[in-house]
Amino acid sequence: MASTSDIRKGLCIRYNHDIFKIIEFLHVKPGKGPAFVRTKLKSVTTGKVIDNTFSAGHKIEDVRVETHKFQYLYSEGETYHFMNTEDYTQIQLPESALDRSDLLKEGEVVTVIINAEDQLPLSVDMPAHVILQVTETEPGLKGNTATNATKPATVETGAKVNVPLFINEGDKIKIDTEKGNYQERIKE
């Protein structure tokens, strides 16, 4: 058993007869009244995100998990296939287990969180950044630049990302996987 002081991003807990992963949290200590923790929880079975508030000192049941590195192989409909990089065993996960499946490129190495009790995969953590090639975007026009002007672009995985006007087709860009934002252009 853990308490609200142990809450951190990525912690898996058992709540309402399901396993949830904490994706956001905020400790709040108001001037009047007791402290509490505001959380955003994502169900690892359904992918549904809920908001919940725990009072300070509330006991939570954490789930013991292990992390393993897996390489993304391919997808079949809404099923994604991964291979363990250590023992080469393969697993299949539903699309709901992934946060940003549209940014996942074949061959990408991800971290899979596995329940230590029954060895079932719970969720997939993407790397912090991915580097993808722009396959489609409109050309930026000279003189059309205002502060932080952006245009839509499609990358090799099919994801749509807003990029600065100087990005062209064929450029490789770094994308933040948490928010899906453009970070920088990669020079080769």
Residue 72 burial by Cβ neighbours in a 10 Å radius (0-12, 13-18, 19+): buried
Q: CATH topology of 2-62 equal to that of 129-186?
A: no
Residue 167 has pLDDT above 90, yes or no: no
Domain layout of the chain by residue ranges? 2-62, 65-125, 129-186
Is the pTM of the predicted complex or chain greater than 0.75?
A: no
User: Within 10 A of 98 (CB to CB), how many other CB atoms are there?
Assistant: 20
Q: Convert the pLDDT of each residue in 37-90 to its tens digit.
A: 999 998 877 778 899 999 988 898 888 888 899 999 998 888 999 999 999 899
* 3.40.50.300, 3.40.630.30, 1.10.1740.10, 2.40.50.140: CATH of 65-125: 2.40.50.140
The answer to whether the Cα torsion of 127, 133, 139, 143 is positive or negative is positive
Q: Convert the pLDDT of each residue in 2-43 to its tens digit.
A: 888 888 888 888 888 888 888 899 999 888 889 999 999 988
* 2.40.50.140, 2.40.160.40, 3.10.105.10, 3.40.50.1980: CATH of 129-186: 2.40.50.140
- The strand ranges marked E within 30-171 are 36-43, 49-55, 59-62, 65-76, 79-84, 90-94, 109-115, 121-125, 129-137, 150-155, 160-164
Task: Report pLDDT for 69.
Answer: 93
Which two structure tokens, joined as six digits, stand for 66?
Answer: 């292990």
More confident residue, 96 or 186: 186
Which two structure tokens, joined as six digits, stand for 132?
Answer: 């993808």
Task: Report pLDDT for 145.
Answer: 59
CA-wise closest residue to 62 among 109, 19, 121: 19
CATH 3.40.50.1220 is held by the domain 2-62: no
Task: Report pLDDT for 142.
Answer: 62
Query: Per DSSP, what are the bridge partners of residue 151?
Result: 163
Q: Convert the pLDDT of each residue in 136-150 to its tens digit.
A: 988 866 665 566 778
